[in-house]
């Protein structure tokens, strides 16, 4: 599927949904926790928050590093993990697991007390306590998921773009460094091809765009850019989910054809029908053809929306924090290069969101959306 199909089947005004990207012969979930000791090579003294605006020949550019993400933790688990992330990265995966288990335990204990009190004079009180605890734990797990997303970005040496208000100078938005290569490196070649199609559709980017084209001034409405960002998160989530499904189907059919003792192309009466069924069972050779031929509007919407309430809330909060209060007539002067950086980040965010939703659900058991 090119992004045109996704654009047709997803409302451009929806900011309350999200979607995926997977590498073909690798497990779907790779948080890197198994090898986190070897991966963490950033000295603690360099993990401070830095935001630098510099004047260059190409205009004002926003440089950033460290925890300059749009959202700040609002819960105790989130603030704890933020501190660990900055000062003790090696301990971060263990701290995440502990916080998830504690949140699940707190929620389950409140529900158990509510069930035990049914029929008693305190039933109403314990039901209210359980509802409040559920809300607290929901906010906590969203913070945990956001910190995990920051952790995933840090593994590819990329920091999320700060709130745009910090990067716009004299009405001009430029993001530097772009980190395009790092953001593209998380995708398989097939997924990356579909991401480039998405870039062409939503911002008019072309692989043939030269330096002059990439840095030429262009204007875009902030409201439109926020919708593109949200849609790109959904697209990244979708690609992750559907690429995994494509890989599993292809692997299953290949294994079946090798292990089956029956010939895949039998002869004799009825062989034409059997041959047709075999051909229908063959997997599509490419991810793009698989999506274009197998996915209708309803299927795209199913795979293009997060399964949990926490993931949807997190996407909404992050997008709103990044763009701030959006005026319909607010226009930003920027460049194609900066727009590409923003869209690539959003696609990666959606991909990581899918992985982290799956990972945290094994411990916390998310509330379905």
Asked whether 99 and 80 are in contact (CB, 8 A), the reply is: yes
State mean pLDDT over 54-73. Answer: 63
Output the CA–CA distances (angstroms, integers) from residue 15 to 157, 246, 274, 313, in the order listed. 27, 27, 46, 10
For residue 5, what pLDDT is reported? 44
**Interatomic CA distance for residues 158 and 68, integer angstroms:** 11
pLDDT band of residue 46 (cuts 50, 70, 90) is very low
Judged against a pLDDT cut of 70, whether residue 305 lies above it is answered with yes
Judged against a pLDDT cut of 90, whether residue 347 lies above it is answered with yes
User: pLDDT for 140-190, tens place per residue?
Assistant: 999 999 999 999 999 999 999 999 988 888 879 989 888 999 999 999 999
The residues pairing with 218 across neighbouring beta strands, listed in sequence order, are 334
**Interatomic CA distance for residues 176 and 165, integer angstroms:** 15
Instruction: Please tell me the pTM assigned to this model.
Output: 0.78
For residue 325, what pLDDT is reported? 86
State mean pLDDT over 116-131. Answer: 94
């Amino acid at each position: 599927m090119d992004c045109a199909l996704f654009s047709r089947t997803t409302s451009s005004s929806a900011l309350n949904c999200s979607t995926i990207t997977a590498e073909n012969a690798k497990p779907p979930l790779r948080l890197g926790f198994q090898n986190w000791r070897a991966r963490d090579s950033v000295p603690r003294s360099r993990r401070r928050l830095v935001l630098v605006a510099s004047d260059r020949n190409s205009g004002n550019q926003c440089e950033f590093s460290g925890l300059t993400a749009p959202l700040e933790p609002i819960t105790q688990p989130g603030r704890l993990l933020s501190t660990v992330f900055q000062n003790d990265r090696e301990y971060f995966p263990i701290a995440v697991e502990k916080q998830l288990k504690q949140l699940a335990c707190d929620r389950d204990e409140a529900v158990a007390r509510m069930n035990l009190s049914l029929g008693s004079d305190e039933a109403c009180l314990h039901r209210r306590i359980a509802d409040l605890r559920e809300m607290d734990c929901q906010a906590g797990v969203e913070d945990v998921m956001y910190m995990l997303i920051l952790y995933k970005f840090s593994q590819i040496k990329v920091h999320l773009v700060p709130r745009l208000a910090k990067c716009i100078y004299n009405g001009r938005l430029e993001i530097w460094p772009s980190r395009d290569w790092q953001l593209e490196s998380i995708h398989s070649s097939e997924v990356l091809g579909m991401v480039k199609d998405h870039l062409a559709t939503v911002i008019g980017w072309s692989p043939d765009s030269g330096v002059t084209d990439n840095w030429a001034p262009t204007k875009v409405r902030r409201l439109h850019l926020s919708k593109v960002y949200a849609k790109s998160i959904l697209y990244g989530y979708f690609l992750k989910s559907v690429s995994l499904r494509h890989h599993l189907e292809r692997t299953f059919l290949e294994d079946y054809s090798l292990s089956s003792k029956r010939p895949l192309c039998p002869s004799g009466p009825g062989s034409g029908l059997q041959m047709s069924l075999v051909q229908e069972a063959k997997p599509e050779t490419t991810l793009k053809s698989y999506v274009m031929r197998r996915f209708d509007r309803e299927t795209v919407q199913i795979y293009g929306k997060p399964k949990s309430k926490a993931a949807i809330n997190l996407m909404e909060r992050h997008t709103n924090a990044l763009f701030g209060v959006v005026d319909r007539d607010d226009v930003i002067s920027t460049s194609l290069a900066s727009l590409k950086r923003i869209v690539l980040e959003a696609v990666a965010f959606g991909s990581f969101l899918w992985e982290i939703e799956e990972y945290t659900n094994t411990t916390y058991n998310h509330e379905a959306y």
